[in-house]
Structure 1
């Protein structure tokens, strides 16, 4: 007879009741972090267990995220690389372990979510003792363990990873805890505002927690800045390190910048607003021990606690490095935006309006620079080309040190980019030289042609030329994308994979427009980023480069900011300007500046009389070569005119150069 040992029903009842009636353990995220988070050398310059003293400013934020704090929303506007991901991981892992529930983690896109799941979440689940035995982590990726969804073995909770660009992943789920990561990069999706969609997923829970975290981008329109301003607006106060003072104050960027000696960034420091004494980097550990968060609006803490933190408080960032980053960025609006976002942790105020076109025209009319010529001090040539149904329009820009640019030529080549005559005109443009004041004829160094429309036709012409001289580009309007990134391959209309072999690039048009509209206002010709216009451009050109503005639009009931073109005005002048700048970025990199020795080599090579010229002044005053275009911007005749006087040459540097192949 088979003897079976059956579990007692009474024992099962007692076991279940014991589990139900046992008081839940306290949710202490700080203790959980110190017991479970260990940084490797690959992850952090400070490897080892999580040390609360190194991240003392996170303690109050972790307490705000705990169930003990009544607030529903916690927002953190911060600098980049400040440990925000660690903070979000502690909240995520600690919740899954100590406070089992359904958890939602939302990234800007589903691709971002998949990458985070594979590179951050899975290693944390496998490498953390408290989580290793809770989740199955099988290799089949079925049921409770997939890239975008992971469920506890006991069924008491799960984590779903979603993308703000996918309304389907933000619907039909209810979550009591969630992280909204990189919030400033979220854009409206086909169903409307993804932030409202994500917030609604926790609507059914009275004591939900929503953690919104991001580095700011551009205002107006920055989501994390809007959230910070809607909350308690808490800043980190530290005591003056000098014993005779000890007054509490914040480390403000304005304080730092005001006293910065750009010749000695190693001496960068703050000054105490109370006693006026210097506060150096070695004082920081002492100050952080006495730091405390203070709210501008404490009455809002019950519902929404918002925090602001920037690099000056972090032990991972030196004062000198902050100073050098600012010195490198200063004067270039695009670089200044990156600095303010990533280092200072503030949104950059956008220049959404161009100056009046008449103002630019009147300033240009006073210039001695004329079309078709390369003015002194500008030695590197790029060209932007925009394709239309019946023509291509081009603009040649000469670049000089300190991101200064000069418009050399603007013109039109009739015909479609697929036409042989049109392609022959572009071929001739690449062979055409533009005369400088030394009598040298400079070729275009890099030409960037728009590949957004007529992509296959454009690619057919681009691939006939060396990749070092001709590239295809496509403008992207998103404000959070990288300035310049390679497009490796795409599928054409016939479903075929096209490999572009480092010849096709996306560039951030919004960033370049904001920078251009700030630069174009600069009247000092020596100012970084100054734009020099010829005196003989027509009014239509200036109307075109000022044809767009950044305006709010209602989309699915949510306000978004878009660059809008005047419906009565063409904008090819602005497009070709940005494409020419994208060509320069291809050569100079995201900082859009060549090294000093490279500029010196270019100047030495190009701003000196050619060998065949014997120094006769009349030889140096020859007319510039004819423009390829049959028409300039408008239909009026505008052939290049000889300068009555040669322009005063700038002193030439004496360093050798390797750029002779770009000169004739």
Structure 2
């Protein structure tokens, strides 16, 4: 045997032995540190570094095949890396422990978006994954928007609103992202979370389920419920002064008077000041500690944005000051920054006399703050109810008028009267031209649907929109995509999320702010009956197949046109947003306009 033959035999033998050797038992964090590359669109592109977000290590490693944990629940604030941790787990499963993976997002539209903006860059930027998944081609069924095949398995992606996608495939791995945005029911077949989890039962003992979400309302939030059923781990960090381990909480944030950008953290034990630049050392020395017994199979993690290396305490403090007086913005801040469900106090009824007591007299001219005027129209068989609302900075609102046009609404004279009413303009206190009604939303979902759609079709250039209200969670105040008319002579019908508008309105009414963002102003001459109509409904917590949701119900014997017209006028404002109108810019421009000069002498 020649030296070359001996060398060849040695290389073949070494390769054969490597082929027989078992795969190294990596954890998800180890795999990500070795192989994951963040795309250029990421805020910090390049190799993944778990050391940058050390609190994610235990979360990811619980999703490793060597971990006994089957279910991981991550209730989080924004900018904490939760979705990236989920992508690392998907990459690890594809490359290191292949099997069928089911990834679920709230809707099919989000599947398309996330497949393009998250999954494709994950694959393309990671050579170990790129080798296993075919390059997408027009005729290749193995690499599509909703399916990525690889040796030993496939990544199937679907929306929580598709029962077919949720019940079609058994899966060893399951990722549920933003579960609090999931619909309560998937095509009338039940809770989408339960349907998806059912796909993993044949892999019990070997399965991995990851639930990620920022929470929403307390008592309704899915992620809150799942976290409560876990061992409830919280990330403890040591004080650099006294060494006491503690959870970072909002009550520990403070700042010099008038300088929220300089916010710091005060140790809850010794009071020592911990500055923003101390955060990396805190995170590196931190550790997860369970605060509930748990069952050993479900690991729950809660993390607020106070831990985020990508957002400072000062930025969070500034956001808090901007949000604290507006209940709707405060809810969003609580969910996104603290990663906590917002305590729902919206189930108690509001008293009409409480609101009437706040009524004020601003005269015949529009108040200084009004920048946009919208109207909402409720249609009955024998009358139309109309509220005209002025809007200012931060959606501060003024109820400018409430009218009823009586008559058979199947006849044209009623609609002619409405047309004249909507054509009026409102003189302003500032030196600006009188403001027209910029947009109108008319309910087409109850009475006189044909008349409403015909009236709207002839006035679309004036932004007179036919709408239909839809209740339930997750329905936006205005559709993201413009609808199409069913026939040329009829207007398109815009689907309006009435529950979200009502929740915002009632939160603002309860706050009772005299002025500023979200404040609601009412004229002194408005009668008591109208205030009764405005608060004629209340939110009641109901359960559908075990899933809690808020449902708005009307008090018996009370009319609710006052509420409906306000909801529709608010929807019209959101329609203007969708059309590109910027309320903030308009409000600032009008507030900066001078007041008109008035002569001291009477004519």
Tell me the distance in 2 between the aligned counterparts of 1:138 and 1:213: 28
Q: Which residue in the other structure is 2:28 paired with? A: 29
Q: Which residue pairs with 1:4 in the alignment? A: none
Question: CA offsets per residue over residues 450-506 of structure 1, 9 Å max, x none?
Answer: 3553677545434555757645555453444555554323251x5x79997xxx866
- Say whether residues 1:83 and 2:74 are aligned partners: no
Change (3 A) 1:215 1:524: closer
| Cα distance in 2 for residues equivalent to 1:402 and 1:167 | 39
Looking at structure 1, the residues matched to 508 and 460 of structure 2 have their Cα atoms a distance apart, in angstroms, of: 32
- The aligned counterpart of 2:500 is 511
Structure 1 equivalent of residue 9 of structure 2: none
Is residue 216–residue 347 contact of structure 1 (8 Å, CA) maintained in 2?
yes
Structure 1 distance, partners of 2:533, 2:301, is 43
The equivalences for 1:58-73 within 5 A come to: 58-73=56-71
Deviation at 1:261, TM superposition (A): 5.2
Provide the C-alpha distance between the structure 2 equivalents of 1:72 and 1:614, rounded to a whole number of angstroms: 80
State how 1:541-556 maps to structure 2 within 5 Å: 541-556=530-545
Secondary structure (helix, strand or coil) at the match of 2:455 reads: helix
Give the alignment partner of residue 392 of structure 1, picking from 381, 384, 397.
384
Partner SS for 2:62: helix
The alignment status of 1:269 with 2:264, answered yes or no, reads yes
User: Which residue in the other structure is 2:10 paired with?
Assistant: none
1:635-650 equivalence runs, <5 A: none
Distance in 2, matches of 1:411 and 1:499, equals: 24
Q: Residue 218 of structure 1: SS of its match in structure 2?
A: coil
SS at match of 2:484: strand
Deviation at 1:524, TM superposition (A): 5.4
Q: 1:123 to 1:105 in 2, by over 3 A?
A: same
Other structure's SS at 1:106 match: strand
The superposition leaves residues 518-561 of structure 1 with CA deviations (integer Å, 9 ceiling, x where unpaired) of: 22234553465332333443333122211222223333454332
- Asked whether the equivalents of residues 399 and 521 of structure 2 are also in contact (C-alpha less than 8 Å), the reply is yes
Aligned to 1:294: 289
Contact 1:141–1:147 under 8 Å retained in 2: no
Q: Deviations over 1:313-332 (max 9, x none)?
A: 11111222212222222211
Match of 1:180 in 2: 176
Structural mapping, 1:645-656, within 5 Å: none
Give the 5 Å matches for 1:113-512: 113-140=111-138, 143-152=141-150, 154=151, 156-187=152-183, 188-189=185-186, 190-207=188-205, 208-242=207-241, 245-256=242-253, 259-260=254-255, 263-297=258-292, 299-300=293-294, 302-353=296-347, 355-360=349-354, 363=357, 367=359, 369=361, 373=364, 376-380=367-371, 381-400=373-392, 403-414=395-406, 419-433=411-425, 443-450=435-442, 452-453=444-445, 457-458=451-452, 460-462=454-456, 464-465=458-459, 467=461, 470-471=464-465, 473=467, 475-482=469-476, 484-490=478-484, 492=486, 494=487, 508-512=497-501
Q: Aligned-pair distance for 1:19?
A: 11
Describe the SS at the equivalent of 1:210.
Answer: strand
Residues 441 and 571, structure 2, Cα contact 8 Å, conserved in 1: no
Distance in 2 (CA, whole Å) between partners of 1:126 and 1:523 is 52
User: What per-residue deviation string (whole Å, max 9, x for no partner) do you get for residues 412-465 of structure 1?
Assistant: 123577753233222221333557889999544423213553677545434555
- Structure 1 residue runs of 5 or longer lacking an equivalent are 1-16, 620-664
Match of 2:518 among 529, 553, 556: 529
The CA distance in 1 between the partners of 2:37 and 2:103, in whole Å, is 22
Deviation at 1:68, TM superposition (A): 2.4
Change (3 A) 1:19 1:549: farther
Aligned residue pairs: how many?
Answer: 580
